[in-house]
Amino acid sequence: MRRLFIIIALVLFVGSLFAGELYDRAVEEAKAINEKIAELGLPWTAGAPEALKQFEAHGITDLESVFDKWHGYRDLPEPAQRDIHKYFFADKATTRDAQIVSSQFLYFANFDVALPDYFIQVHTPIRDQAYHGTCWAFATVGSFESAMMVQKDGLFGSVTASPVTQQLDNYDFSEQFLSFHNIDWDVYIESAYDPTESDYIIQDASYDAGGNQHFSTYNSIRYGLPLEEDFPYKGFDVNPWIIWNPVVDDWRDRVEKSTKTVQIYYGDELSWMGVPYEYYNWAIKEALIKFGAVGVSYSVPNDFNSYKEGIYIPTTNELGGGHAVTLVGWLNMDAVKELGWVSEDATSVEVNDPFSGMTWNATEFWVIKNSWGKWGWNGYYVVPMASKELYNFSAENGYGITPWMIEYRNMFVPIFEEAYTDLEDIDFNDDGKVDEADFDLIVGAYGTYNTDFDISVPRDGYVDHEDIARFMLIANSVE
């Protein structure tokens, strides 16, 4: 009996040594980062994420493996990115990914809403992806939930410095379901580089291999999203596969689907095409106000995991994977002063970008909802917007917006379209019927800014393939 007691005591002792290892390592890392922050005079502080304690409770002791899971965003292969660009900008049809890309609406500024100086959109509370590389699913669901509140329920955000005040628990959809419907990345990438393949091979796979919102936003149209309570998330099953786990038989009765996805294109691409910085920056804010929180992504500097609060600016140009998150608003200098992150007499925040080597004075900052549970600033973080100088620098010299910024990649937010019930919107010559004469009118306006023939959803003031396709959809759907 005494021997058994000694063995149990030894096990408990070893376990107690192990229990704090993960968190203690994070504390040491944060200490080193804070020293670097102080040396550079940056407006943020580092700390050990509280979420790590629950990883320890589940027996996970490898800090690098946690960060690998947290950084689960994957870029599309180069051929796919080129084909998407051709679809949107080169007026060149392609069959590659055509069905997915055709579900996306490229968004430009309409200047049809007033922009407040700072703003936080309504969104759902902080979620926790735990020990899976499913950030892309959480970013998509977070945007979907916010878009439901804005577009379907008519709710609206507020001029406030605190994102917590704009949390509404009106919806909770299943990240487990969306994560289960990832793609087989090995098959997809192999087909992308295979000259004998005429198209990409896209097939579902539930392997926990990271993901991309190009596919997850399409699946929220194709499959829709069931409720979290019907498909609960399994964060710590330590399984390389996302399991299929409906807990009720009638879950399909409560599925919600979006009908289209607004996409705001890469800042680099738009700057090279001559789109002014003001138009691009306005488009992001306008989409956030009109449609809801926006799914965004970026490459993760190695010090980011230890962010605690303040305006994050990297201390290093070393990267540790990709991450997808949800943009919920922006702040100006008055708002960050209210938060106590800068001095009362400050007129800007100096940004020294360790990737481009550029320095600028930032006066506006993005507020972003993360999916790491008890982490950062109440689950959020704040970063400077890409500056006009950097945006124009990329256009003139080919450097590009740097990868730690959300403007480095494209952005997504779902649309819940209202169906047309009659032909009134496409009877352009007002003769009481829709025929070839109306079709000829809209085709004649193709490629022009003309509100008379702008019938796309959302309306963008420009007549393109979106408007032609919608004309055909309406004309063919009404007897």
* pLDDT recorded at residue 454: 84
* pLDDT recorded at residue 395: 61
In the CATH hierarchy, which top-level class contains the domain 424-477?
mainly alpha
The domain locations on the chain are 2-62, 78-415, 424-477
Taking the C-alpha atoms of residue 117 and residue 287, their distance in angstroms, rounded to an integer, is: 15
* pLDDT recorded at residue 365: 98
Per-residue confidence in pLDDT tens, the chain, 479 aa: 444 333 333 333 333 334 478 999 999 999 999 999 999 999 999 999 999 999 999 999 999 999 999 999 999 999 999 888 887 777 555 556 777 887 888 899 989 899 999 999 999 999 999 999 999 999 999 999 999 999 999 999 999 999 999 999 999 999 999 999 999 999 999 999 998 887 899 999 999 999 999 999 999 999 999 999 999 999 999 899 999 999 999 999 999 999 899 999 999 888 888 899 999 999 999 999 999 999 999 999 999 999 999 999 999 999 999 999 999 999 999 999 999 999 999 999 999 999 999 999 999 999 999 999 999 999 999 999 999 988 988 666 666 799 999 999 999 999 997 644 456 778 999 998 888 899 899 989 988 888 888 887 766 677 876 787 678 767 765 54
**Residue appearing with tokens 């929220």:** 220
pTM metric for this prediction = 0.86
Taking the C-alpha atoms of residue 85 and residue 79, their distance in angstroms, rounded to an integer, is: 10
* pLDDT recorded at residue 14: 38
- Using an 8 Å Cβ cutoff, are 73 and 321 in contact? yes
Counting Cα atoms < 13 Å in the Cβ hemisphere of 252 gives: 2
Q: How many other CB atoms are found less than 10 A from the CB of residue 137? A: 32
Q: Which CATH code for domain 78-415?
A: 3.90.70.10
Taking the C-alpha atoms of residue 427 and residue 311, their distance in angstroms, rounded to an integer, is: 52
* pLDDT recorded at residue 199: 84
* pLDDT recorded at residue 423: 65
* pLDDT recorded at residue 271: 87
> In one letter, which amino acid is 37?
I
